[in-house]
Structure 1
């Protein structure tokens, strides 16, 4: 149950990073999912692409270290 008088904090940069990070693992709390309304969808998409690029770069570096 959500209290009507309880203010929901506006989404910030670290909250956006946290949202994208946990989304990669598919693990989210229902309360976090309900509060995602405060986040800008364009920022979430951009952070998702940046996270994906970083993940691919880390994988490539690990593979090069193991293979070569």
Structure 2
């Protein structure tokens, strides 16, 4: 999950990237990416719902 989180952020040292490439299973990375994207989308939906219900965005 840490490697996927860093990839969402877009900052990674090349030495850490090389270590991740050697150690990680691609299937696990895909699953973690899908979970991370779902959590991110869920947080965005919750934030938009909260802003709209608070009356700030009129």
TM-score (norm 1): 0.74
CA deviation digits over 1:6-54, x for unaligned, max 9?
xxxxxxxxxxx11000100110011111101210000000000000000
Gaps of 5+ in 2: 54-58
**What's the counterpart of residue 30 of structure 1?**
14
Gaps of 5+ in 1: 1-16
Within a 5 Å distance, the mapping from 1:1-68 to structure 2 comes to 17-36=1-20, 37-68=22-53
What CA RMSD, in Å, does the superposition of the two structures yield over aligned residues? 0.6
Please identify runs of 4+ aligned residues in structure 1 that moved more than 6 A: none
TM-score (norm 2): 0.86
